Structure 1
Amino acid sequence: MSSAEAGLELPGWSLAYSGKVRDLYVAEGQSLESAPEMLMVASDRVSAFDQVLEPAIPGKGALLTSLSLWWTERLGLPSQLAPDADARTPASVADRAMLVRTLDMLPIECVVRGRVTGSGLKEYQQVGSISGVELPAGLADGVELPEPIYTPAWKAPQGEHDENVSFERTVELVGREDAEAIRELSLSVYRRAAVIAAEAGLVLADTKFEFGRDRVTGELLLADEVLTSDSSRYWDAAALAQGRVESFDKQIVRDWLADNWAGEGEAPALPPAIVERTAARYGELLERLTAD
């Protein structure tokens, strides 16, 4: 955990879980298994290649929380937010926290790709498909697909690597009804978001969603972050038309780390210039999307 986050104390709340970049709090005396609500705090930590890196990206948690809330409202999605969430969120973390209903999460990362790039490109180059979805031969990095594809992954227990799986494997994991529902919801939300991003001069190359069921109503809800720069790849459309990829996400961090770390031992600290560029790009993305 980043030193900037280690001393976080929220009266009336207890830290129940600390992930790579998010911390989950429940009311004192409760647990994640029993709590009807939880406080989801987005830290400024940044991760890449399953590593939490130092230093943190200043303002990142607030930027991504704002972006996630904006997309949820813009798309009219059923919200995980708890009743009167704004009034009951601790003031010290109000800009980067969401008070949400606790969901029973499905162990699937719902990845939708409109472009072939990143880990999907590597898998495609090896076997000609991504998560069992066969693709035409000869696709280049960043090429637009005729239609977005759904390429799910199994969310491994903490400390293990997530694993790309076929749709039929998700049926085995969560049942056909839920597997089909999250596939259709993911594709629908991606398509709508891609159109909105295009209006802002952006290409939504890919994104990932997570879903869970409300413990009281049983409603299937989109959970956690929604279309943020950590869960999605955004590119500048004008630059892409000229053959350049200009990212508005943590690709800056990924690229630097790939060039400066062999993948073994502790990852090196990010240079100030990389931290500053990443923070600036996160901020620019929010401004471009939310501009009137």
Structure 2
Amino acid sequence: MNESNCPDLTLIARGKVRDIYSIPGEDDKLLFVASDRLSAFDVILENAIPSKGKLLTSLSLFWFSKLASIIPNHLILPSPTQPNFDAFPESVQKYKDQLEGRSMIVRKCEVIKVEAIVRGYITGSGWNEYKKSGTVHGIQLPEGLVESQKLPEPLFTPSTKADQGDHDENIHPSKVAEMYGPQLAGEIERVALALYNAAAAHATSVGLILADTKFEFGLLPAPPSPATTPSSDAPSSATPHGTLILIDEVLTPDSSRYWSLDKYVPGGPQESFDKQFVRDWLIAEGKKAVGGVKLPEEVVEKTEGRYRECYERVTGAKLA
């Protein structure tokens, strides 16, 4: 599904991947719909990747549950006690054919305008900065690191969360304290590192490396209701600003870099479980920043296969 069409619901936003709707009569909730759209180099491709939205949603649900002891999250439905689409509001039920398996009902919150990136390995934009200055997001690192090398310890390397159409900007962690105060900034860093460490340990157990990832957080004015939040046993992340919660998607191939442990060789780029096939094809064809591009079927199939393999290896399950 390239684009959802729910005319009786109010479309709030249509992002690169997700469509967000309000729910009639439930002003404190939102409907998140993961499409099969794919973006690369900030351009949305013309054709979609089959089942991508369902794979991303199912993977996020897995991680929300697995990490629930670390921090509360925004997920309301589906839940462990109400896992089926039949539990969704009646106003949403008429769109079951479109939405089942790719949608979540989530709690509204104040979104923190920071991408909480955690890097366990030096790669991507971090590697590019290190080659120039020996730093990552302004943080000094030891000399002599090679591309894709494991860092001495995971690094919290945030970026600003740009509006759609703009680019995120890498920032030093101290900038988060300037934006939100030292207490909330410290809690964001603490929780992001705890989430990464737990996820990285699980990834290793299934033969994967979690090289880096980004988390997004929001604030609630009061602790979530235990009756509707599957993660209510998590320790409180209360701050003077409100209660910190985990939001958006989490630890998917769209927001994370997974490598195969048995193929890992530091000193160069690694094969990733994400849209690398698409990026490589766009670069080779000279279409890196061109809109309206249609991918060859072979690239679509390989990309879908990598997303599916990542889901199956992380969760130990297969998606119908």
TM-score between the two structures when normalised by the length of structure 2: 0.83
Which residue in 2 is equivalent to 1:211? 217
Per the TM alignment, residue 102 of structure 1 is displaced from its structure 2 partner at its CA by: 0.7
Work out the CA distance in 2 between the residues paired with 1:74 and 1:264.
Answer: 37
The answer on whether the counterparts of 2:149 and 2:266 sit within 8 Å (CA) in structure 1 is no
Identify if the C-alpha distance between structure 1 residues 265 and 29 changes in structure 2 by more than 3 Å, giving closer, same or farther: farther
255, 260, 279: which one aligns with 2:285: 260
197, 200, 203: which one aligns with 1:194: 200
Which residue in 1 is equivalent to 2:63? 71
Percent identity of the aligned residues?
45
Which residue in 2 is equivalent to 1:118? 124
Q: Does 1:45 align with 2:37?
A: yes
Which residue in 2 is equivalent to 1:291? 316
Work out the CA distance in 2 between the residues paired with 1:153 and 1:245.
Answer: 23
Secondary structure of 1:40's counterpart equals: strand
152, 156, 159: which one aligns with 1:153: 159
Q: Does 1:225 align with 2:225?
A: no
59, 76, 80: which one aligns with 1:82: 76
Deviation digits for residues 127-170 of structure 1, max 9, x if unmatched? 22111211122322211111111110011222211100111111
Work out the CA distance in 1 between the residues paired with 2:290 and 2:50.
Answer: 25
Q: Does 1:239 align with 2:271?
A: no
Work out the CA distance in 2 between the residues paired with 1:187 and 1:51.
Answer: 30
Identify if the C-alpha distance between structure 1 residues 84 and 197 changes in structure 2 by more than 3 Å, giving closer, same or farther: closer
The answer on whether the counterparts of 1:101 and 1:214 sit within 8 Å (CA) in structure 2 is no
Deviation digits for residues 171-219 of structure 1, max 9, x if unmatched? 1112211111111111111011101000100000000000001255432
TM-score between the two structures when normalised by the length of structure 1: 0.90
Paired residue type of 2:277: I
Q: Does 1:174 align with 2:180?
A: yes
1:18-33 alignment, distance < 5 Å: 18-28=14-24
Q: Does 1:183 align with 2:189?
A: yes
Paired residue type of 2:75: L
Q: Which runs of 5+ in 1 are unaligned?
A: none
Per the TM alignment, residue 226 of structure 1 is displaced from its structure 2 partner at its CA by: 0.7
Work out the CA distance in 2 between the residues paired with 1:15 and 1:215.
Answer: 25
Paired residue total: 284
Work out the CA distance in 2 between the residues paired with 1:84 and 1:55.
Answer: 28
Work out the CA distance in 2 between the residues paired with 1:62 and 1:143.
Answer: 32
Secondary structure of 1:57's counterpart equals: coil
Paired residue type of 1:274: V
Q: Does 1:129 align with 2:135?
A: yes
Work out the CA distance in 2 between the residues paired with 1:54 and 1:139.
Answer: 39
Q: Which runs of 5+ in 2 are unaligned?
A: 80-84, 224-241
Q: Which moved more, 1:11-20 or 1:213-222?
A: 213-222
